[in-house]
Amino acid sequence: MELTVVHGDITRQQVDAVVNAANRAMRGGGGVDGAIHAAGGPEVLADCVRRFPDGLSTGDAGWTTAGEMRARWVIHVVGPNHRAGETDRALLVSCYARALAVADELGAGSVAFPLVSAGIYGWPKDDAVAVAVETLRASPTQVEEARLVAYDAVTYEAIRQRLAR
């Protein structure tokens, strides 16, 4: 699998699936979650309600339509909320591994990932980058391209440097 980083907007990526850093309720929110729901339109929320009436557990993943986005699917993952005391690194690792497993089930060849839990959930950025790169490199998958999408230049540079190791 090719693992790359781009500086940009995850909702505008031309990939088979985009990964959403969702909350447990699966009803939209802020940050990446809000951007994906806004870009995808009401179909994304309607599919979340239909497919996940009770939401998703932390560390788990599931898919919906991508609605009006270029991607075909959204793979929703629920990252651990570090600020709320969810500090088990295995939950963050699980987000990336489960997202790849769901992508394999869907037959997605290309997937765009945000840096899960590193925003409002407060996971330390250096470790969030390490988990993303290590897990995506180590997980068996049929995905041909995993793309880490950094919204800001500082995050882009941190991921770029980690990929160069």
Task: Give me the domains of the chain, ranges plus CATH numbers.
Answer: 2-163 (3.40.220.10)
The model scores a pTM over 0.95: yes
What does the pLDDT read at residue 102?
Answer: 98
Task: Assess contact for 57 and 78: CB atoms under 8 A.
Answer: yes
Q: What is the pLDDT of residues 50-102, one digit of tens each?
A: 999 999 999 999 999 999 999 999 999 999 999 999 999 999 999 999 999 99
Helix residue spans in the chain (DSSP H) = 31-40, 42-51, 89-106, 125-138, 153-163
Residues 137-150, mean pLDDT to the nearest whole number: 98
104 is catalytic: no
Q: Which of the residues 33, 88, 126, 152 is marked catalytic? A: 33
